Structure 1
Amino acid sequence: MTAPGLSRRQALRLLGGGALAAASATAGLTAAAGCAALPTNTPDPRLLPSDAPLPRPFATPLPRVATLEPVRTDATTDYYDLPLRVAEQEIIPGLRTPIWGYAGQFPGPTIEARSGRRIVVRQRNDLPVPAVTHLHGGRTPPASDGYPTDLLLPARGGFASHASHMTDERADVVRGVRRYEYPLDQRAATLWYHDHRMDFTGPAVWRGLAGFCVVRDDEEDALPLPRGDKDVPLLISDRSFAEDGTLLYPALDAEVREQPGVMKAYGGGVLGDVVLVNGAPWPELEVSRSRYRFRVLNASNARRYVLRLAPRSRDGAELGSDELRGEARIVQIGTDGGLLERPWPRTEIALASGERADVIIDFSAYPIGATVVLANVAGDGPAGQVMRFRVTGEEADDTAVPSRLSQVERLDPARARVTRDFRFESGEVHGHTGWRINGKPFDPARMDARPRLGATEIWRLTTDAAHPIHLHLAHFQVLSIDGERAEDPVAWKDTVDLGAVQTAEIAVRFGGYRGRYAFHCHNLEHEDMAMMANFEVI
């Protein structure tokens, strides 16, 4: 499909010498970070220090992300407009930061959806570069999944892609406006949407192109869980800032138009020194002594978080167990693919890029006046804390966390007829060091697996460095890590976090739709430097 007035031949011409912007993910890449043999020399993510003074933690209220209202509805469908715009936003107090935002906002507005009710999202691209929107966690037909070469070109001005020795004749390139159609034939879950343009996902998400999509259903609505203003999405991301408030990012091409990739030192991933929640640095949320539900998303490019509660009294002293009333732990109730079968009390929650966790925190465990820091024990210095809760008063609370949350189908590995092995590793990519899957860089024309519709397969995923691995379309269950049965309760996932030199076995069911989809590392710098591959459901 092409936009009115733009033929496929014209689209090809617009993208430079008749070549569609669908190269191998590092065609033209000239300075990726280096590593030699596997696995010991693979580069780690690296901190990019801000030039701006770091803001004082807990001085900014937590922003409540706006909900996107439909422009119209009918018996089966809700219709939305979600333009992509350049805008400015005050992120660091007193400074204005240029962003790329859905509806001109960072994070983009939250889409509230119902399981089984179709939504149609119309996007106009008023950015200076192409864009592709992926609904992460969505069971989506291939035409609307956000395949990385299905570009939405800018509505105004020409655009020439970076030169390529490869083309993707299957890419669907349109100018100006595109409609994404999401059937949402899936259970309630916390999804998110973000840019997925090939070679440039990292800088595009860093500049602000990310937002929530919350899917609800009758099963979840029947539970006595917190709702309304006590059902709070938390989009966590780290960023770095120039002295004037501009976002810093070590792109080889500052305009992210022509040359993909980052400076050599950052080939393992980019870490910021300012932790944002819903677009605010280390914010604070005032809470009552009652239960809250938090939908926690790691939307950082490369940073991992290990989240733990650190309560303190009114005078700042650490609270001991004898001063707490009730259970002080985090209770996880859901993951990428929706509710768990049963609640899972935990002392900490680990999240890699792209992963989500739905959790309950019961603030009745803390006295009025206490503060509770959401700490990141995987981070050092400023990155060691994320936000703070301040307990301000009493409030009636008729919520509860049932001992049983949902009926979760268990995939039977014995029913799998195919087992596939995929190695995620560093190596040479078009004459430079990048990231590969099974020794090959991304190529849109190559199919790395052809599962049958409805089939269950076992995939073995092996890493050299740490890689969070994301599959489009297909949800899965983690069977084991390094041969040990997975710790997690039975749960549907779309992203699995693997550390260095690990192997996971996952059971994947390819339901939903036939067509071409991607799987990749969700460290966005790894993804942009070729760590992506294809499967085609047949």
Structure 2
Amino acid sequence: MREHDEDRSGRAQGLSRRRALSIGGALGLVAVTGLSTAAALARRPSITGAELRSAVPLPPAFQVPLPLPAVLAPVSTSGGADRYEITQREASAEILPGVKTPLWTYEGAFPGPTIESRRGRPITVTHRNELPVPTVMHLHGGHTPAASDGYPTDLVLPEGRHDAAMPAGHGSGHGMDDPRAVVTHLTRDHYFPLDQRPTLLWYHDHRMGFTAPAIWRGLAGLHIVRDDAEDDLGLPAGRRELPLMITDRAFGADGGLAYPALDPTLRERPGVREPYLAGVLGDVILVNGAPWPVHEVDTARHRLRVLNASNARHYELEAVADDGRRLDLVQIGADQGLLAAPVTHRLLPIAPAERYDVIIDFSGVPAGGRVRLLNRLGVGRTRDVMAFQVARHATDDSRIPRTLSDDLPAWRRSDAVRVRDFSFRTGRMDGDHGWLIGGLPFDPARTDVTVRLGDVEVWRLVADVHHPVHLHLVGFRMLSRGGRAPLPHDAGLKDTVSLRPGEAVEIITRFDGYRGRYLFHCHNAEHEDMGMMANLEII
């Protein structure tokens, strides 16, 4: 990690955008020959990780109905604020037809219940941990005070556990003692002011060293922030607004979720087996917890609130009618809310933890027709995502305004008080494989970056393999990608950037809102667990 005025790092860094069950060999190539050799491979499709194969029969695509997560009701609404309660507990669900799958859940469901909130109306969410391991809950994309952000060592201990010992061994990093950790027993209150633009957020477990397997087992849910200005735009709403949490999973012979953890109890030793060090991919695509589902729509515009909640899988989405015609995906929003104006795509790449707000118009599809949502980066069964069955003709009074929002920040390079460089690359950690930022694995006791509240900074991020980089607390704008203008899907205010192999990007942000300790990290969840996080102190 470096702070300076000119960019001298990362001009020739790279590794493969590879289809890779042999990713370990590629990592070895980089270690031996340097990043410039592997940069020649960067034109290959971008799949970082190895795929698990299910040991149970899988259902045909487009037969299971799309579930819509239940909306959580507040337990109180007094005093201009809402209070919610969520219990984290074990449950069993029929994800594959006729097969029972044990899960770790929020409120017994996967995905967890959706919280619907209003901009500027604070909420408190009390989480109760009835799981067999400590947990940490993070609201991804939330402008949240540090005490409620879900720092990875701020554990909620379950019944019968009274120590806050950090994991030891592979993947734990250096100096795991954290004198600033705030540990509670059984419950924790998270306070969210929600003084932020309306958008789709999501909440998930963030325990140090075990984020990846906890999300894989089911600890993820949606949170939507709304406001009056967005409501007045006339966008598709009600049953024509669909939250879509896309994930991939694999199933063992007993129907359970297969995952290559070094410690299947998820108690002591973080990390995954050798073939999966670059990320874990499943061979079943789930949307809202259902395999390759189908959803009935009418001949009207629909708003798709899309989240990639996969651990490591990237998608390149396209909507294709049965006659082969591709439908436009009109992007109206990014991670942190509405764009200034719509952007039309035929293909939409989405990395882990990214969200896209898109509108698809089914009016040109005849009743009885079908539109498939496909993944251009998939192979075999992972090429299918879900389908829309056009069931009926209908009137449509929705619209897509030419101007969506006028409150996007207008930061300029000249506003930045400093420029920082960060490299995201593989390395060694405690004698084992790790994933490093600026050559260092995560250590909660070390302050990596200190910024002043209100400062505007430009950050230059450089990758070896594909890293979706997430900043807590703040949104940012893309300034450049690979030395050129940002891509069309980079529009708007983001909190996660898909950093492609061998690529350098520049982002600009203002560190505002709250003081305290936050994080930035790779949101390939296996990379995150194996060291690819850093501390951000706002003073």
TM-score of the alignment, normalized to the shorter chain, above 0.5: yes
Q: Give the alignment partner of residue 131 of structure 1, picking from 132, 135, 149.
A: 135
Amino acid across the alignment from 2:50: R
- For residues 88-487 of structure 1, what are the structure 2 equivalents within 5 Å? 88-157=92-161, 161-163=166-168, 165-312=175-322, 318-320=323-325, 328-407=327-406, 408-487=408-487
Partner of 2:65: 61
In structure 2, distance between residues paired with 1:141 and 1:409:
21
Measure how far apart 1:336 and its partner are.
Answer: 0.1
Secondary structure of residue in 2 paired with 1:493: coil
TM-score (norm 2): 0.90
Query: In 1, are the aligned partners of 2:167 and 2:209 still within 8 Å (CA)?
Result: no
Query: In 2, are the aligned partners of 1:422 and 1:437 still within 8 Å (CA)?
Result: yes
Measure how far apart 1:523 and its partner are.
Answer: 0.2
Measure how far apart 1:59 and its partner are.
Answer: 1.1
In structure 2, distance between residues paired with 1:200 and 1:380:
28
Query: In 2, are the aligned partners of 1:137 and 1:337 still within 8 Å (CA)?
Result: yes
1:380-399 CA-partner distances (Å, limit 9, x unpaired):
11110100000010112110
Secondary structure of residue in 2 paired with 1:213: strand
Measure how far apart 1:230 and its partner are.
Answer: 1.0
Query: In 2, are the aligned partners of 1:155 and 1:175 still within 8 Å (CA)?
Result: yes
In structure 1, distance between residues paired with 2:259 and 2:294:
27
Amino acid across the alignment from 2:321: P
Partner of 2:508: 507
In structure 2, distance between residues paired with 1:156 and 1:176:
10
Query: In 2, are the aligned partners of 1:65 and 1:109 still within 8 Å (CA)?
Result: yes
**More off after superposition, 525-534 vs 50-59:** 50-59
Secondary structure of residue in 1 paired with 2:79: coil
Measure how far apart 1:490 and its partner are.
Answer: 4.3
Amino acid across the alignment from 2:511: F
Partner of 2:533: 532
In structure 2, distance between residues paired with 1:252 and 1:121:
32
**Alignment length, in residue pairs?**
496
Measure how far apart 1:345 and its partner are.
Answer: 1.1
In structure 2, distance between residues paired with 1:185 and 1:382:
41
TM-score (norm 1): 0.90
Secondary structure of residue in 2 paired with 1:485: coil
Secondary structure of residue in 2 paired with 1:260: coil
Partner of 1:315: none
1:284-318 CA-partner distances (Å, limit 9, x unpaired):
00000011101000000000000001101xxxxx2
In structure 1, distance between residues paired with 2:325 and 2:274:
46
In structure 1, distance between residues paired with 2:75 and 2:491:
38
- Give the ranges of 4+ consecutive aligned residues of structure 1 lying more than 6 Å apart after TM superposition: none
In structure 1, distance between residues paired with 2:254 and 2:237:
39
In structure 1, distance between residues paired with 2:473 and 2:166:
28
1:149-181 CA-partner distances (Å, limit 9, x unpaired):
100111345666534753000000111010000
Q: Percent identity?
A: 52
Distance 1:158 1:56, change over 3 A: farther
Distance 1:395 1:251, change over 3 A: same
In structure 2, distance between residues paired with 1:180 and 1:209:
16
Measure how far apart 1:432 and its partner are.
Answer: 0.9
1:79-104 CA-partner distances (Å, limit 9, x unpaired):
00011000000001001000000111
**More off after superposition, 446-455 vs 164-173:** 164-173
Measure how far apart 1:536 and its partner are.
Answer: 0.5
Query: In 2, are the aligned partners of 1:133 and 1:195 still within 8 Å (CA)?
Result: yes
In structure 2, distance between residues paired with 1:320 and 1:445:
54
Partner of 1:21: none
Amino acid across the alignment from 2:127: Q
Measure how far apart 1:219 and its partner are.
Answer: 1.3
In structure 2, distance between residues paired with 1:173 and 1:41:
43
Secondary structure of residue in 2 paired with 1:83: strand
Give unpaired runs (5+ residues) of structure 1. Answer: 1-31, 313-317, 322-327
In structure 2, distance between residues paired with 1:208 and 1:513:
30
1:465-489 CA-partner distances (Å, limit 9, x unpaired):
1100000001100100111011236
1:369-427 CA-partner distances (Å, limit 9, x unpaired):
11100000011111101000000101121101111100122211111011000000001
Amino acid across the alignment from 1:154: P
Partner of 1:494: 495
Secondary structure of residue in 2 paired with 1:229: helix
